[in-house]
Amino acid sequence: MIIPETHPRYKSLMARDRLVACIKAGITSQQGLIAHGRGEAFDYLIGERTLSSTRRATEVAAAMLLIADKPVLSVNGNVAALVAKEIIELSKLLNAPLEVNIFYRTEARARRIKELLENQGADNVLGDKLDAEIPGIEHARAKVDREGIYSADVVLAPLEDGDRCKALVDMGKKVITIDLNPLSRTSKQASVSIVDNIERAMKNIISALKAGSKSKPDLAALLLNYDNNVNLKAVIEEIRDRLKQEELNVNLK
């Protein structure tokens, strides 16, 4: 079915189509659709826009990536379907490797994600040499590249699971997540949680990096003054205020 650009939910329907196409191509897991549906529900509550508290988290994330010694960007099946182009651009801007790291791991799917990234221009994709293990996780995501996620100081891990996020933080790493659910274990465990749709979040991180006018000490100060729990509270307050407004609108009819 061809979706007209004038359809009020055009963007959202196109994202669904990309995920379905990537499931058919063996890139995204079937469970990825369910995860996306949960994300969509939160995006609806947020109002499908970037909250002001999220803008702050995004700026902090960009600063953290900029001053990292060894940043690594983790890619799963949903990330590959929705923002391959943007995550490749980010990896080039930062001169940081991408690492394919998936929860519902099959070797075939990991290989196809790597191929998709390389076909779109990525030149440093890790993830087939699983020669190190993150302590404290029992599922497939524990296995990583020693030169990649294992030895990174900052990991961007969008649409992550809570266990691995905590395990990475326990290893002393800074973890930046992108997750529309501010209540998820991942959002609560991360060093910086970007509560936003991954498509908007990636564009905003890239813009913040390109704008990058701040000096290193200013970037470091931005990080020092940031508390992820305080920011998550602000996100929840913004959502609550929006729902209150919606409630008033319903009452007026």
Residues that bind ligand PTJ (CB under 6 A): 29, 31-32, 35-36, 38-39, 42, 76-78, 82, 102-104, 159, 161, 178-181, 184, 197-198
- Taking each helix axis from N to C end, the angle separating 228-252 and 31-46, rounded to the nearest 10 degrees, works out to 70
**Hey, is 156 helix, strand or coil?**
strand
Q: How far is the CB of 166 from ligand PTJ (least distance, A)?
A: 13
Q: How far is the CB of 186 from ligand PTJ (least distance, A)?
A: 6
Nearer to ligand PTJ, 54 or 219 (CB): 54
Residue nearest to ligand PTJ (CB): 39
Q: How far is the CB of 250 from ligand PTJ (least distance, A)?
A: 25
Q: How far is the CB of 38 from ligand PTJ (least distance, A)?
A: 4
Say if CB 214 and CB 63 are below 8 A apart.
yes
Scored b (16 or more CB within 10 A) or e, 197-216 reads bbbbbbbbbbebbeeeebee
Nearer to ligand PTJ, 29 or 91 (CB): 29
Q: How far is the CB of 8 from ligand PTJ (least distance, A)?
A: 18
Q: For residue 49, which of 159, 193, 180 has the smallest C-alpha distance?
A: 180
Nearer to ligand PTJ, 156 or 198 (CB): 198
Nearer to ligand PTJ, 35 or 239 (CB): 35
Query: How far is it, in rounded angstroms, from Cα 110 to Cα 104?
Result: 10
Query: How far is it, in rounded angstroms, from Cα 200 to Cα 190?
Result: 19
Nearer to ligand PTJ, 93 or 162 (CB): 162
Q: How far is the CB of 28 from ligand PTJ (least distance, A)?
A: 6
Say if CB 149 and CB 155 are below 8 A apart.
yes
Say if CB 100 and CB 125 are below 8 A apart.
yes
Nearer to ligand PTJ, 106 or 120 (CB): 106
